Structures are given as structure tokens and as C-alpha cells.
């Protein structure tokens, strides 16, 4: 069994009709039951993937170049993106679509965070960006603990911590 499936089974329990020793009852399972079990496993995998995505932070501060492109007309965007490698262009266009689909209030908050980030010195911007990346790699309880840690208070100013909290979706 693959590790993800084992993890899923540990979390959710074994599907009905499947025992801890599948070899013992493999001959007793009809093809229809096998199909049902396969579908259940696929659903469990999808649920686990969705849960993992929910634990990750969404894009919370737009890239300055993406923000600039977002304010351009479609013709200006096309011209600006003309010389960019196809993979990078697709990534930028995807981010632009996400921004375009956001409610205006949420988009304004994102741009406010970007402006706040840009108000810091370049070395502090880099430190904040690095910490954002670190926070994105943590589960929610670990993010909360990190944001409340003495180490964070020693390395960041209260304004920087406030920005980190907003980006992480963990207001005080």
C-alpha cells in the first residue's frame, strides 16, 4: 500500500468490508465490491488532498509585478507579457485571474498589505517574505505558536508582526 493511502486509512478507518488483512479476504470480494472499494479510496485521497490544501495559506500578498500588471488594460498586459517565457507567463496570468475574481474589498486588503510590505527597508522586506514562506509551510496550530513565540518578537517589530499575522490569517 502507498503511504498516503495508509495514512488515509489510519485517519478514516478501514472502508466497510475491508479487513486489516486484505489477502485473507481478497478472493471473497466480488469485482463490483472491488470497484466500490477503489472509488472509496479515490474519494478518501481527494478529501485528504482538499484538507491539505485548506491547511496551506492562499496567496496573501500579490507580487509587485503582478499588481502592476493588474492595473493595466488588456492590451497593455499583452504587450508587457509578450517576451516572457510561456511557463512564467501562464503563472502570472493565473495570478492575475485570481486577483480579478476576488471581491474588491479582499483585493484592496491585499494591495494594502503589499504597500505596507514595501514601506519597510529592503532587508526587512526580505526577512518578512522569508517568514511568510516559513509560515506557509506550517499547519495552523504551528503557525499560531510561531506567531506568538518570543523568537518572532525578538526578530520583528510590532508592525512587521502585525503584517505577518494578517497574511497568516491569525489576527491577535
Pick from 65, 8, 72, 69: nearest CA to 41: 8
The total of other beta-carbon atoms located within 10 Å of residue 170's CB is 15
Tens of pLDDT, residue by residue over 132-147, are: 989 988 898 999 999 9
d(CA 143, CA 131): 11
Question: Does 10 or 142 have the greater pLDDT score?
Answer: 142
Burial label for 124, CB within 10 Å (0-12, 13-18, 19+), is middle
d(CA 78, CA 159): 37
pLDDT at 23 over 60: no
d(CA 165, CA 72): 30
Question: Does 5 or 133 have the greater pLDDT score?
Answer: 133
Amino acid at each position: 500500500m502507498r503511504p498516503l493511502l495508509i495514512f488515509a486509512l489510519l485517519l478514516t478507518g478501514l472502508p466497510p468490508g475491508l479487513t486489516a488483512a486484505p489477502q485473507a479476504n481478497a478472493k471473497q470480494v466480488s469485482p463490483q465490491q472491488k470497484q466500490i472499494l477503489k472509488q472509496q479510496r479515490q474519494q478518501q485521497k481527494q478529501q485528504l488532498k482538499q484538507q491539505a490544501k485548506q491547511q496551506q495559506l492562499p496567496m496573501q500578498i500579490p507580487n509587485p509585478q503582478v499588481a502592476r500588471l493588474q492595473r493595466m488594460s488588456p492590451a497593455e498586459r499583452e504587450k508587457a507579457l509578450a517576451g516572457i517565457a510561456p511557463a512564467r507567463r501562464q503563472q502570472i496570468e493565473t495570478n492575475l485571474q485570481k486577483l480579478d475574481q476576488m471581491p474588491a474589498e479582499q483585493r484592496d486588503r491585499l494591495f494594502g498589505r503589499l504597500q505596507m510590505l514595501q514601506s519597510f527597508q529592503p532587508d526587512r522586506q526580505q526577512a518578512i517574505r522569508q517568514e511568510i514562506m516559513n509560515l506557509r509551510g506550517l499547519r495552523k496550530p504551528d503557525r499560531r505558536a510561531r506567531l506568538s513565540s518570543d523568537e518572532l518578537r525578538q526578530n520583528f517589530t510590532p508592525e512587521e508582526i502585525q503584517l505577518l499575522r494578517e497574511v497568516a490569517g491569525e489576527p491577535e
